Structure 1
Amino acid sequence: MTIPRKEFVLVGLIALVIVTLLAPRSFAQGNVTFGPPVKVTPPDGFGYEPSFVVDRFGNIFATAHKENWQLLLAPDANSPTFTRSMSWAWLSVDGGNTWGDIPGLTPLSIEQHQFGDEGDMAFDDANHLYFVDTNVADDTIARWTVTGLGQVSIDFTRPLIPTLQLIDDRPWVTAHGNGHVFYLGNEGDKVTYPLGQGQGNGFGPGRYTVYASLDGGATFNSFGYTLKDSGWCRPASDHRPGVHLVYVLCGNDGGSDDVFTPINPKGTLYAYVSSDDARTFSRFVVGSYQALDSTFGWPSVIVDPAGTVSAIYVDAHQMECFTDITGNTSCDPDSNRIMLYQSTDQGRTWKGKDITPRPGRYRYAWLAVSPGGSKLGVGTYYKPSDDTTPWRVYGAIFNPWQKPQLVSLDEEHPVGSPTSEPPGDYMGSYFLPDGTLGVIWTRRVLSAVVAIERDIYFARSLP
């Protein structure tokens, strides 16, 4: 039987529509599909700035900033007291499908009532999980030991590191080996903490100071090593046995001291490299960025199993600038670009490439590396450069130096309105042991008024 041409074309169009409707929602078709998003925050508990880490057993540990109006005391249905004052600290043992609180010192988990504003987590290579949580004047610290899936026990917690730094605006932590852990504190400027000590061309006035512990977090060098001209930073550790390499990737605030001196239009991305567990650092140039960008963010850096260091930075591409009556200039981006950097010689030299998937606005891209080191992963917020399309969250798995084919993780639920910025100040991505990529993000309730409630969601690529 011969089908008339008109009917044949009609059948073909219908088939195309069906395939389009059933295809995974993404703005570039790839071979990665993500499962449905899972809400991480408990009922009536809200938050933002999420991140997570995964151990070799498949346990997923996540943290997030509590919502601002819940900062002192937040409802927590997972807590024995149904409340908490420390930052959110969650555990999932089923691939991110369900979430609960990380076990505490006692069944009452009283340590959850140590005040914390925002925190960070990291693993060493002896199955120790470290958690630092700023209380603004210092940081609380906790350590857990993991022996299997769901087998997590807390070793200690205390309300202070302590350090001599008067303020910590955003803590980071990284670790490797057996008990070598490095806490980084952000003073907020390059002037008001002069007590850091150190040698090497990486030492000098800066925002961030590195505090080292070689005994599993029991004690720290309270003076620390201040990273010269450091702005917003992010650390990473080399996990190869016997290697003592610690990396910190930073912007430099356009060379401003953040108190008295102006911002230069051209900023510098620096790599601070220590081969002796943060006793000394050397500083190397990674690249440059547009420092007047009002939406500048954190660099993201990772080290693969072979020791290759990769980093990404969301830079402004095209900007609209204005100068106020005091002479200060600031710029809002009309579009962004995602820059990938890589070093194969322990941070001394770097190659860079623009891997922006397509034109538009990007915020808070976060980099991950697969267990074998052959793939990179990213989570990011994206929207086209228009005033009608809202911000959404995307993820991708890609080969180094290739442009990611981003997949929309929650098409039906934008994270921000078309005329706003997405929820700050970052999000997270991390590979699981089976090679799947997890992404964690913040979703803002969209309304005509300012949102005061934000939820955390997680999604994972399918095996």
Structure 2
Amino acid sequence: MAERVMDAELSAEEDEILDAVLDSDVASEAAERRQLNLAFGATAVFVVSFMLLSAVWGIADDLIDGLSDETGPANEVGISWLEPIYMPRHEECIDPNNGQDPDYIGYGVGYEPSLSIDSMGNMQVTAHKDLRWGGEGTPFGPGLGGPFDSWYACEDGEMTSWDYWASWFWISTNNGSNWSHGDSFEPTPGNLLNSAIGSVTGGGSECLGDEGDIAVDANDVIYYLDTTLEDNWWHRFSDGGESYDMGSICQRMNTMAADDRPWVAAQGDGIIHYLGNSGAAPPECS
């Protein structure tokens, strides 16, 4: 009995001593971990703060450098303009007595131009013929500043600045250095009666036009829409305007009467978007 009691007491004491030793180690390790965590946390905060400040400083430097570069001589884009080029008339249609300034009698008179360019750099221009320059008089008489008379195109002695009945259409195939009239836009001598006949039986420049717009699709096909106010005519070209692809008969659009100004855009393979301006009053205002 005595031996057993002693063993039990020794065991209990050993357990207490062992427990005490274990508890002391745990507390020490926990303290060390806390210290390490604090150290790691402080280090992480310092590193992140340093990275953020570096990033901010770097962005600011980039912005400052970018601004200084953009306004510096190294990044300036030089723009220069060459001498203006005026759109030519057909030589056989020039009338030195039509009232134009003598220095400009060889050039077309027009306004509200449209410019297009294809992937090869070929350019096309159209412009509204000036209705006051179709002769000494006009079918609208004093309303356009002249006596009542027909309009004329390329007609000797009629003081006209028009070469043909369609709106002006010029092309350039050498980067704008030289300009000429598009294919099938030849002179159409005569008066409005000739124009009416030509619009039914002819094509190209015989199709009576007032003003138009041009678009080029992805295949470099050129679409030129020219309005007569009562409807529109389609013209189609290729080879930068040097080939007329609409045949010998005027192609009527047959979509909108009283179109005061057409706009066109083209994309893909012959996809054309058309915007007209009929000036028709909405029902609630009529």
Larger relative strand fraction: 1
- The structure, 1 or 2, with the larger RCO (C-alpha pairs under 8 Å, 6+ apart) is 1
> Structure 1-normalised TM-score?
0.31
Structure label with greater radius of gyration: 2
